[in-house]
Chains A and B, each alone.
Chain A
Amino acid sequence: ETLDMQAYVPQTLPVLGTAGVDLAERVGRLTGGEIEIVYHDPGALVPTNEILDAVSTGAIAAGWYTPGLAEGVIPAAPLFTAFPFGPDAVEYTAWWYQGGGKELWAELSAPFGIHTELCTMLAPEASGWFAEPIESPDDLAGLKMRIFGLGASVLEKLGAQAQSMGVGDTVTGLNLGTLDAAEISFPALDLQLGMQEHASHYYFPGWHQQSSLITFIVNQDVWDGMDDSHRAAIQEVCAANVALTIAEGESIQLAPLAQLEAEGVTVHQWNDEMLAAFRGGWDEVLAERTAADADFARVWDSITTFRADYATWADLGYLD
């Protein structure tokens, strides 16, 4: 059986794309070639914003996806990809597998007729590339930054101007001053894209996007129609992928970071004042979103409850 899988990122991107290629390759080996997952680069079958719709109708069997892309139809969706001041990989996976996250997502995405397997964890992103150093929240006023999602909403609260642009226009914009800043990804990927040629101030931590969840989605009818052993193979490979990508993401960043610094990039860490400002902006956005959407509030409630309990355990169980 062949499963066409439309991906939201090109297969060449480290971790984001390569993990999807690994999934296809290992499922093929595990099922003795009976399940062939074909990775299609963005736009090949359908443009990225239409992946969910295409999998829901069954026009495409599967997708390499991240739940946040569904924000237009599921306002709570970003909470299942990454959100400002979100948890690390261990805490996030604990919530997904054991804390009710998986069930909540299954419930919210049920009307779309899709089945979801968590399949990759991404390491924290960088906060972004800036043309000039940012010392105080005042420096954000009027700042033109390419950034999406909840992080974009937070920045708008702090007086910046969020821009939605493709990568091509983004790097040109950074070089020529049309943009002052851009959020792309983590060091390994940013180096591959040559971001050091476009801006020289690289900020951490990525408060807007700590660890992120990447998923394999599949049309429910297709999933229900598969052999039990084939479903198990996909589930096992995805679970293994989560562990492997945590390990990979945490271990591949330092060498690229060193190379970026060698090429003249200054690595900064946000000071406490800036982090407090971002957190203040996030509180405002959060208040709006929880008021606007009952599901958002419900998911947020589940996350905060889980994180409060987890904090008790982490304090007790871990050295630091």
Chain B
Amino acid sequence: MEFLIEVLPALMFGSLVLGLFSGLPVAVVLGGITVVFSIIAISLGEMRLVQISLLPNRIFGGSIENQVLIAAPLFIFMGVVLEKSRIAEDLLLTLQKLLRGVPGGLALAVTAMGTILAAATGIIGASVVMLTVMALPTMLKRGYSAELASGAVVSAGTLGILIPPSVMLVFMGDILTINLAKLFIAALVPGLVLAVVYMIYIVITATMNPSKAPPLPPLTNAERKGLWREASLSFALPFVLITAVLGSILGGIATPTEAAAVGAFGALLLGCIRKRVSLAMLGEAMDGSVRTLAMLFFIFITATGFAYVFRIIGGEHFIVETARSLDMGDWGILAMLMLMIFALGFFFDWIEITLIMLPIVAPIVGLMDLGDHVAKEDLIYWFAVLMAVNLQTSFLTPPFGFALFFLKGAAGDLVTIKQIYRGIIPFVLLQIIVLALITWQPWLVLWLPNAVL
């Protein structure tokens, strides 16, 4: 009995891994394991029956009564509207034409597109779905390897959570009670660095290994004609949208959360300007948004059950004890924390990780002293950005990675999950390299906010 209680967290964790690979919906697995382990824990006396009655409170407080999360439906709605009104598609096609001559041009266009979308949305779902639907079929048709194509799409799609505005940064700023504007600006340069690193990798891969990204024939004269006019129009509209979203925040009119509504309304308006809004199109936009949101929040409400029961049977205790028992100097602790966040990212989503880890690590970080490397008053911002870049990998790492779910959900049978898994490996490695880079060179994070604010 004692032994069973001891290993219960590990068992629960193991069941999740096995269950996820059963091919049942992720939410079904999470919810089922929640109930099964509640029953085990109750029969072992590790949990009281009444404790399970807290699940509705957690679902209500976490997913419904949450002023920050209202940005999620709005940003997803905006993304789907941009997709259905083909405004995003125009931009992508133009980018693809402009980058035609560069090795890996189609994939580069995806990364560029992801970066632009990232500046307009605060979550990842919208961009991943949009890029998948618009870019993946073309890349595959043009002979790109499924791995490179999927990797380019998910990595570009997840930039939205790092490049402001970002729901994740809002969440972290709220928990840490630090200056959110400063945190936004601090995350900007690392986000752009990441985009550039992705692009460099794509160019190198395409040059060294053209079979993965075959070069395309040069533009014909017919295609070249009017390209600049077309380019300026397809750039102008998204640019207007980004200006509206960021402008409403910086102009002191809307909070970062509320700006999502500006984005959704802006997308509808641009669709009208391009005369591409019809009742049928609006119906499709609602359909796509509702499905994506249902998928996302079904996982949220089951994951909150999983995390709760995991906590009760002592799973979190292990994490806390490890973090506290560290006696390895400030750099050692930092490395350990980063490793832990990365490892948790395989199995939990960023909300749970932020909820579990941030309150624990905030005081630890508060006591850190890295001497001249990072000024004391900047340390928490630098750490938050390190954590944000680190958490970005959690979207990509299997088995539990939201970006992968979004990609697979939108792509259907175009790519297999195995190809996606293989495809994300180089991009996760690139994220780790960038994480190391901004750890080594903190000015990449801190210079801009200190110069602007």
Contact = CB atoms under 8 A, between A and B. Distances in A.
Interface of A: 10, 12, 41, 43-50, 53-54, 57-60, 164-169, 171-173, 175-178, 193-194, 197-198
Nearest to B174: A168
Given A166-B68, A172-B179, 10 more contacts: A45-B54, A47-B58, A48-B61, A54-B54, A58-B50, A165-B255, A169-B170, A173-B255, A176-B250, A176-B251
Contact of A59 (B53, B60, B184): B53
B254 to A, nearest CB: 7
B52 to A, nearest CB: 8
Contacts of A41: 359
Nearest to A178: B252
Contact of A43 (B53, B181, B355): B355
Contacts of A43: 61-62, 355
A59 B50 contact: yes
Contact of B173 (A12, A48, A49, A168): A168
B177 interface: yes
12 contacts: A10-B359, A12-B366, A41-B359, A44-B311, A49-B61, A50-B60, A50-B61, A58-B50, A169-B180, A176-B249, A177-B251, A197-B179
A178 B54 contact: no
Interface residues of B, number: 40
B178 interface: yes
B61 A12 contact: no
Q: Which 3 A-B pairs have the closest CB atoms?
A: A47-B61, A177-B252, A168-B174
Interface string B355-367: 1000100110010
B257 interface: yes
A198 B48 CA distance: 46
A166 B67 contact: yes
The SS class assigned to the A binding surface is: loop
A173 B173 CA distance: 13
Nearest to B316: A44
Nearest to B65: A49
A46 B58 contact: yes
A89 to B, nearest CB: 26
A168 B255 CA distance: 10
Contacts of A178: 252-255
B220 interface: no
Interface centre among A54, A167, A175, A176 (most CB of B within 10 A): A176
B325 interface: no
Contacts of A193: 177
Given A44-B359, A46-B58, A169 B179 contact: no
A183 to B, nearest CB: 15
B138 interface: no
A47 B363 CA distance: 21
A3 to B, nearest CB: 13
A175 B51 CA distance: 42
Contact of B362 (A12, A53, A173): A12
B382 to A, nearest CB: 15
A20 B427 CA distance: 45
Nearest to A173: B255
B452 to A, nearest CB: 11
B316 to A, nearest CB: 9
Interface centre among B177, B256, B257, B362 (most CB of A within 10 A): B177
Interface centre among B181, B184, B249, B254 (most CB of A within 10 A): B181
Given A44-B355, A168-B173, A12 B67 contact: no
A176 B452 CA distance: 13
